[in-house]
Amino acid sequence: GAVVSQHPSWVICKSGTSVKIECRSLDFQATTMFWYRQFPKQSLMLMATSNEGSKATYEQGVEKDKFLINHASLTLSTLTVTSAHPEDSSFYICSARPRRRGDHTEAFFGQGTRLTVV
Amino acid sequence: QQQVKQSPQSLIVQKGGISIINCAYENTAFDYFPWYQQFPGKGPALLIAIRPDVSEKKEGRFTISFNKSAKQFSLHIMDSQPGDSATYFCAASRRDNYGQNFVFGPGTRLSVLP
């Protein structure tokens, strides 16, 4: 199956610094990638939809200036948490849906990134 | 209309038993219903998925039952094993819209006791 690789798997940063998380589709092209945030024991909350070559579409309540998304190529999207604060500590997950013939429309998820802001 | 409801919130099953998780949706435009399994600290992984043109799909110990008229679908895990202990999310989407997000249920934490 398709593989989505997310890096790093965990990161600890100081309050006020910025952190970049990468999401790569390893064996398919992804014109669209999705970024989620997941709090402990909760479901996935969509933060934004990343579109290759254009601006990301953010969900209501998500600060676009704080969570910068760049979809520079058909295989790479990045999420940068700017001026991170302890409340930004969470599990961030990306996903992508390959575009194929037939009915293969499943979404593949990255391994997730555990961000801890101290 | 975009919501997917899921129950129970948590489930404890003895080894060898049957685990059943139920989901319901409102949007009749949805035509693709996957189930994802997530272990702690990991991203969700696709378990099994179904389209509304079939009422049941089975893959190994995992079965999806689908009731189109009731807009409900469920996951059955037969012969549940401790290794099945994880959080399970149902989801809904449209097959022909690759740029569209999945709508996820709130999740069910399954614990299978040895």
- Asked whether the predicted pLDDT for residue B28 surpasses 70, the reply is yes
Residue A55 sits at the vertex; the CA angle it makes with A37 and A13, to the nearest 5 degrees, is 40
Give the CA distances from residue A69 to residues A23, A76, B48, in Å, rounded to whole numbers and listed in that order: 11, 11, 30
Return the residue of A nearest to B39 by Cα. Answer: A111
Interface test with A, best of B30, B102, B111 (most A CBs within 10 A): B102
Rounded mean pLDDT of B67-89?
97
- Asked whether the predicted pLDDT for residue B16 surpasses 80, the reply is yes
B81-109: per-residue pLDDT in tens? 999 999 999 999 876 565 667 889 999 99
Chain B hits for A93, Cβ within 8 Å: 43-44
Chain A hits for B106, Cβ within 8 Å: 42-43
| B62 interface with A at CB cutoff 8 Å | no
- The pLDDT value given to residue A84: 97
> Which residues lie below 8 Å from residue B55, measured CB to CB, with a gap of 6+?
B65, B66, B67, B68
Question: How close B47 comes to chain A (CA, Å)?
Answer: 10
Instruction: Retrieve residue A19's tokens.
Output: 């952190």
Instruction: Retrieve residue B106's tokens.
Output: 């709130």
Return the residue of A nearest to B106 by Cα. Answer: A43
**Tens of each residue's pLDDT in chain A, 118 residues:** 678 999 999 999 999 999 999 999 998 888 789 999 999 888 899 999 988 888 899 999 999 999 999 988 889 999 999 999 999 999 999 998 776 655 546 778 999 999 999 9
Give the CA distances from residue B38 to residues A48, B45, B76, in Å, rounded to whole numbers and listed in that order: 21, 6, 16
